[in-house]
Amino acid sequence: MKTMILKTASLLLVFGLFLTFQNSNAQEKKLTRQELKEVRKAQMVTNYHILDTMLNRRTFVLEADYLQNKYGQRLPVVSSLNFIKVDGSRGILQTGVNSGLGYNGVGGVTAEGTVGTWELSKNADKLYYTLHFSLLTNLGNYDVWMTVSSDTHASATITGLEPGKLTWDGHLNTIYNSRVYKGQNSY
């Protein structure tokens, strides 16, 4: 009698689990195109507010995926060596390559200094920011013009006192999540 009750209970348990798994699969549904659009919009708005905090606190790193010169030539670069970092009133502009040659020990130039003027404007409708700031370094004075979209894509064009410009194109990241390597200051 006990064996029959155990077999019946086991059978009911297996049958119950089978129904549970079937119902859980039946309840999963794919999101419609409109629902996916709404989820993406909510993510963009959230990113926009996070970027607002980073830019207003002046704590961010633009890690470049590409560098572009004034002639439009675009080269892929190592993002951990090519970056613009702002931490409060201090800033760093750096270019580099993996060869380790150059003024800064990482195949490029490192300019570190003090952030001067700071002009931040935002477009809440299109979810992007524009930023202009100056950086006073031992290598010279630089103007940085940056645009940042809510998907964290950022582009910054740097000009100095001499003719020419260089554009960093990549993603904005928090200082704590960034994995950049700063070379020696170039003199």
On whether residue 187 sits in a domain, the answer given is no
Contacts 24+ apart (CB under 8 A), 130-136: 131/55, 133/86, 133/91, 135/91, 135/93, 135/111
Q: Are residues 118 and 169 in the same domain?
A: yes
Average pLDDT of every residue of the chain: 84
- Which DSSP symbol is given to 43? H
Q: What pTM value is reported for the model?
A: 0.78
Q: Is the pLDDT of residue 36 over 60?
A: yes
Q: Are residues 75 and 131 in the same domain?
A: yes
Segment 85-117, tens digit of pLDDT? 999 999 999 998 877 677 777 878 899 999 999
Segment 125-179, tens digit of pLDDT? 999 999 999 999 988 999 999 999 999 899 999 998 888 899 999 999 999 998 8
Domain hosting 148: range is 33-173
pLDDT-based confidence at residue 15 (cuts at 50, 70, 90): very low
Q: Are residues 49 and 25 in the same domain?
A: no
On whether residue 181 sits in a domain, the answer given is no
Q: From the DSSP assignment, how many helices (H) and strands (E) are in the chain?
A: 2, 9
Structural domains in the chain (count): 2
- Which has the closest alpha carbon to 170: 150, 158, 155, 149? 155
On whether residue 11 sits in a domain, the answer given is yes
Q: Residue 81 carries which side chain, given as an amino acid letter?
A: L
On whether residue 44 sits in a domain, the answer given is yes
On whether residue 141 sits in a domain, the answer given is yes
Q: Are residues 60 and 152 in the same domain?
A: yes
Q: Are residues 78 and 155 in the same domain?
A: yes
The more confident residue out of 167 and 2 is 167
Output the CA–CA distances (angstroms, integers) from residue 176 to 60, 61, 111, 186, in the order listed: 9, 9, 21, 24
